[in-house]
Structure 1
């Protein structure tokens, strides 16, 4: 290497780090920890097939049960396909409400390892997990146009959230250190304050206005909401709709325990979940529901060690 080439090479080594510093410090490259909840408007979707898929995905999230049931070959097939809920029953505002299980940024999280299944899970897998658990129905076939549409919509509303970031709004509804619930108090409060939307028998008044909380129209006991810590956290942060966050942890835990002690569809795959052990103890299975009714439940065992 001659003297001129050597000087050019040394200059290159000095300049590149400076350029990187300027770009990163200047904000030209988004920092993984700086994710902001700012989904694009549905009015700005692209034209053509992608735009059509995004709109179809949005509609499926908003009106899941009605759409899938109406497009089934028969009423019976529709009822097997999906229960009476919609994705928006949990993911409010078609998945863009920052405070209610937002889906913004979710597309950048997957694929991910999940210990519940002990494998790598794609976004399509995750959607199908909701279909068979939360929606107590059937999964979309591999490569189905509807699951593609849902992924297209979730990807669209996740625009601007860096891949690999950990948005603070994801997973915010889990309750830590759940207090020992009082099911009787939960029933009393439910009948006083929750029946306007969810009906006294828990059957609900509508999938997006007051979804079914138990019974055949609701989620099965393999869904995330069947965990006391998750359901109590959801209630604490988001209920009642006209005054979210007004309930105490104790009140939320009481209501959650009452609701989850009611009969609901049973998940047939409990034995296959967490194959390596270490699964949560607060899944309100049929066995635990019976223990609540018989007043033999050990809440300390269900809730584990609490501070």
Structure 2
């Protein structure tokens, strides 16, 4: 059984409460900078690429590489059923990274071009494998993949495929809009609950347990993301909700029409509910400078 930690919400308080995707494990994959020099970003390419359209799955090459890419695509969309030993909730990667990470919800296109990268939450440089395993431990509330497993190789192959033609070392990906809202108003949990039942419960369930990993993932309870997931921060949750929810018109609310206050109300209500704990959370941001809305205590804040 996963341990559920009770939370209280009050954005703007010292902590989001005493409880509301990433640390990773090692990897034997060569760093992205080991790729041929012709794939390296030039100074002009650093600013020239404003949009990016990933290659279609219909153009996946034949042979072993193509089969690995296709497996990676399957794992992105069916993570909880395809990898039951590594996923502890009822979510898939596509629950947040829609259409296998290729749509505008939270794009993963070009992601392999920016790794390895320093991650302040982990306090270390992370490889793409580390990033993937961080999601398995936090957003999937599960266990990491073996770095040299066929499944890990497949996920990296797929992410590399949807990053085709994005120069290695590119500094920014303008087509990736960050799901984050800063300086949020204080959440009104009562209004958040009202909005949730009005426009969210049809897909996510009145009790937050969800109707399916991509149709309506669980938002709280034992089958949802744990407290250490990126979505556990109210700025991220509110930003994602404001940009993407609801997927269609629900309860008179259209996608992209929510105000900052409404997004904060919904995020506050959702994050006030029980969800699985994450034991290693106290070690996040080991060098300090943690965001103000981290909903749990850290060792670094006590130094």
Aligned to 1:192: 198
CA positional deviation for 1:147: 0.9
SS at match of 2:129: helix
Aligned to 1:301: none
Aligned to 1:299: none
Correspondence for 1:256 among 252, 264, 267: 267
Aligned to 2:208: 202
TM-score by length of 2: 0.79
More RCO (CA 8 Å, sep 6+): 2
Provide the rounded CA distance (Å) in 2 between the counterparts of 1:212 and 1:49: 35
CA positional deviation for 1:34: 2.5
Any residues of structure 2 matched to 1:20-39 within 5 Å, and which? Answer: 31-35=45-49, 36-39=51-54
Q: Does 1:132 align with 2:143?
A: no
Aligned to 1:4: none
Aligned to 1:103: 108
Q: Residues 68 and 82 of structure 1 are in contact (CA less than 8 Å); yes or no, is this contact kept in structure 2?
A: no
Q: Does 1:270 align with 2:257?
A: no
Unaligned runs of 5+ in 2: 1-41, 249-253, 298-303
SS at match of 2:118: strand
CA positional deviation for 1:171: 4.9
Q: Residues 221 and 283 of structure 1 are in contact (CA less than 8 Å); yes or no, is this contact kept in structure 2?
A: no
SS at match of 1:120: strand
Q: 1:59 to 1:183 in 2, by over 3 A?
A: same
Provide the rounded CA distance (Å) in 1 between the counterparts of 2:153 and 2:177: 24
Q: Does 1:114 align with 2:119?
A: yes
Q: 1:81 to 1:240 in 2, by over 3 A?
A: closer
CA positional deviation for 1:82: 3.1
Aligned to 1:48: 63
- In terms of Rg, which structure is larger? 1
Aligned to 1:297: none
Provide the rounded CA distance (Å) in 2 between the counterparts of 1:139 and 1:169: 29
Correspondence for 1:178 among 155, 180, 184: 184
Provide the rounded CA distance (Å) in 1 between the counterparts of 2:119 and 2:147: 20
| Aligned alpha-carbon RMSD (Å) | 1.6
SS at match of 2:274: coil
Any residues of structure 2 matched to 1:47-86 within 5 Å, and which? Answer: 47-69=62-84, 78=85, 81-86=87-92
Q: Residues 58 and 94 of structure 1 are in contact (CA less than 8 Å); yes or no, is this contact kept in structure 2?
A: yes
Q: Does 1:214 align with 2:220?
A: yes
Correspondence for 2:169 among 161, 164, 168: 164
Aligned to 1:238: 244
CA positional deviation for 1:204: 0.4
Aligned to 1:229: 235
SS at match of 1:53: helix
Q: Residues 79 and 87 of structure 2 are in contact (CA less than 8 Å); yes or no, is this contact kept in structure 1?
A: no
CA positional deviation for 1:29: 9.3
Provide the rounded CA distance (Å) in 2 between the counterparts of 1:270 and 1:64: 23
Provide the rounded CA distance (Å) in 1 between the counterparts of 2:233 and 2:177: 14
Provide the rounded CA distance (Å) in 1 between the counterparts of 2:292 and 2:240: 18
Provide the rounded CA distance (Å) in 2 between the counterparts of 1:131 and 1:34: 34
Q: How many residues are treated as equivalent by the alignment?
A: 249
Structure with greater helix percent = 1
